[in-house]
Amino acid sequence: MADTFQGIELYPQVLRNIRLAATIEPSVFAEIEEIGDHASDQLGANYRVLLRRSGTEPLLRVMVEGPDQDIVDVEVKKLVNEIERVLQH
């Protein structure tokens, strides 16, 4: 079994939750998706950005994963700030 995972490199991952209002306009989610796409493009192929609504709670899950912990921390914070700004309008 240990051989199965040999060669797999684990990267730092940070997950933050943003509480959502009961109703969100579809245009707001489109803007949030654009923010996530832009961050993913900027970070490149070595990083993963995931934005998704929770299926059980009124939350938006914001996750960034990649080889550099400092970059992951900074990027997830930037994403959360940008998304919260959009949600407040």
Q: What is the pLDDT of residues 4-28, one digit of tens each?
A: 778 888 899 999 999 998 778 888 9
Share of the chain above pLDDT 90, in %: 74
Q: Which structural domain range is residue 78 located in?
A: 11-88
- In a domain? residue 37: yes
Q: What is the pLDDT of residues 68-77, one digit of tens each?
A: 999 999 999 9
In a domain, 2, yes or no: no
Could you give the C-alpha distances from 61 to 6, 33, 80, in angstroms and in order? 30, 12, 10
43 within domain boundaries: yes
The reported pLDDT for the residue numbered 8 is: 83
Buried b (16+ CB within 10 A) or exposed e, 51-89: beeeeeeeebebbbbbeeeeebeebbeebbebbeeebee
* Alpha helix segments (H runs only) across the chain: 26-43, 69-88
CATH of the domain at 43: 3.30.310.50
Number of domains, the chain: 1
